[in-house]
Structure 1
Amino acid sequence: MKVKHFRVRVSGEHLQNDQDAINQFLTEVTVEKTATNFITGMIDYWSVLVFYSPKTEKIKENNETEKVAVLNYEELTQEEKNTLNSLKHWRSETSSKLGLPQYMICHNSELMTIAKMRPDSIDDLKKIKGFGQHKINRYGNDILSLLQVG
């Protein structure tokens, strides 16, 4: 969980801009909890602490169901980071065998999403952004096997 601090000044000239800034931020994250306190002094303002987690992005591809993508490494737990390292090792070995650049196998965001979601079926893999039928046919069984071992 992360924390961000905002100052919402109550003077008319700043109030709307400060409120817009906090509202924009709130649409981009998952709020865990908040704390507020009114501060008086030369400039009166609301001190707002927002405890949050990054939002997992859902993306629609080709009129299919929504696809999920984890875009921030900080979203991962330590166990998920360990899984990510195993997936990166697999990707490195696979790219060497096939003579392809690693990004042609899987992007980091795809591997992070796999580590976070831990799919246990081909249908679950289809929900991950970047995993179409071609990538699933080529690498799906390898990825699922790796996740079952780890």
Structure 2
Amino acid sequence: MQVSIFSIRLNSTFLEHDQHQLNTFLNSVSFKKSSTQFVDGEEAYWSVIVHYESEEQEKPKRLERKSYDDLNSKDKQVYGYLNQWRNEKSEALKLKKYLICHNSELIDLAMYKPSSLEELQQIKGFGKQKVEKFGEDILAILNAV
């Protein structure tokens, strides 16, 4: 988590400008929390401390989506193993197959073969929760082939 400090001066000459700067900043980050303190002095102002995370850190770059026709014979074999895993996981959890992974996600996994949980998050459809839930299983399959 990162921190930035802003001063919102009460003088009408600066008030709108300072508020605009704060609002622009807040629109560019993932806001977590803030605290304020009124500073009374020669020039009174509000001190605003903003705790945030930058958007770039939260959203890993996504890889381009591919189709089954883009897979070579080895990738199609990997797709088959992933599809079998999904079918077994679906039965074990009593969920529809598409709730585990979509076909397009299996295709992307077979083609890109991520080797870490971070790389797995680059596959479209794999956010933090899905990676936590199924990531180790998927990486084990990909590392075995």
Report if TM-score (shorter chain) is over 0.5. Answer: yes
Once residues 67 and 60 of structure 2 are traced to their aligned partners in structure 1, the CA distance between those partners, rounded to angstroms, is: 22
- Distance in 2 (CA, whole Å) between partners of 1:99 and 1:126 is 25
Deviations 1:116-144 (A, max 9, x none): 01111001101000000110010000000
Deviation at 1:64, TM superposition (A): 2.0
Which AA in structure 2 matches 1:98? Answer: L
Task: Report the structure, 1 or 2, having the larger strand content.
Answer: 1
Q: How many residues end up aligned between the 2 structures?
A: 88
Partner Cα distance (1:69, 1:128) in 2:
8
In the alignment, does 2:115 pair up with 1:120?
yes
Aligned: 1:104 with 2:99: yes
Distance 1:64 1:134 in 2: 14
What SS does structure 1 have at the residue aligned with 2:62? strand
Partner SS, residue 68 of structure 1: coil
Paired residues of 2:65 and 2:124 also in contact (CA < 8 A): no
- 1:69, 1:110 within 8 Å by CA — same for their partners in 2? no
The code of the aligned residue for 2:143 comes to Q
**Please, which of 54, 68, 71 is the counterpart of residue 76 of structure 1?**
71
Which whole-Å deviations, capped at 9, do the CAs of 1:14-73 have from their partners, x for residues lacking one? xxxxxxxxxxxxxxxxxxxxxxxxxxxxxxxxxxxxxxxxxxxxxxxxx72331243311
Larger Rg: 1 or 2? Answer: 2
Verify: 1:144 aligned to 2:115, yes or no: no
Query: Unpaired runs of 5+ in structure 2?
Result: 1-57
Following the alignment from structure 1 to structure 2, what is the Cα–Cα distance between the partners of residues 65 and 107?
20
Q: For the residues of structure 1 that align with 2:118 and 2:61, how far apart are their CA atoms?
A: 13
Residue number among 87, 92, 97 corresponding to 2:82 in the alignment: 87
Match of 2:61 in 1: 66
Superposed CA offset, 1:55-102 (max 9, x none): xxxxxxxx7233124331111000000000000000000000000000
**Of 118, 130, 133, which aligns to 2:128?**
133
> RMSD of the TM alignment (CA)?
1.2
Identity among equivalent positions (%) equals 38
